[in-house]
Chains A and B, each alone.
Chain A
Amino acid sequence: DGGITQSPKYLFRKEGQNVTLSCEQNLNHDAMYWYRQDPGQGLRLIYYSQIVNDFQKGDIAEGYSVSREKKESFPLTVTSAQKNPTAFYLCASTKTGGPGNTIYFGEGSWLTVV
Chain B
Amino acid sequence: GDSVTQMEGPVTLSEEAFLTINCTYTATGYPSLFWYVQYPGEGLQLLLKATKADDKGSNKGFEATYRKETTSFHLEKGSVQVSDSAVYFCAPPSGGSYIPTFGRGTSLIVHP
Residues on A lying within 8 angstroms of B by beta carbon are 4, 6, 31, 33, 35, 40-43, 45, 48, 50, 58, 90, 92, 94-108
Contacts and interface: CB of A to CB of B under 8 A. Distances in A.
B99 A99 contact: no
Contacts of B104: 40-42
Among A43, A92, A97, A101: residue with most chain B CB under 10 A? A43
Given A90-B43, A97-B96, A98-B95, 20 more contacts: A33-B99, A35-B102, A42-B102, A42-B104, A45-B101, A48-B99, A96-B94, A99-B29, A99-B30, A99-B32, A99-B93, A100-B32, A100-B49, A100-B51, A102-B46, A103-B36, A103-B91, A104-B46, A105-B36, A105-B45
A103 B102 CA distance: 11
Contacts of A100: 32, 49, 51, 93, 95
A105 B36 CA distance: 10
How many of chain B's residues touch chain A, expressed as a range? 20 to 34
Contacts of A104: 46
B100 A92 contact: yes
A99 B103 contact: no
Given A45-B101, A99-B32, A108 B95 contact: no
Given A100-B32, A101-B93, A108-B41, A45 B105 contact: no
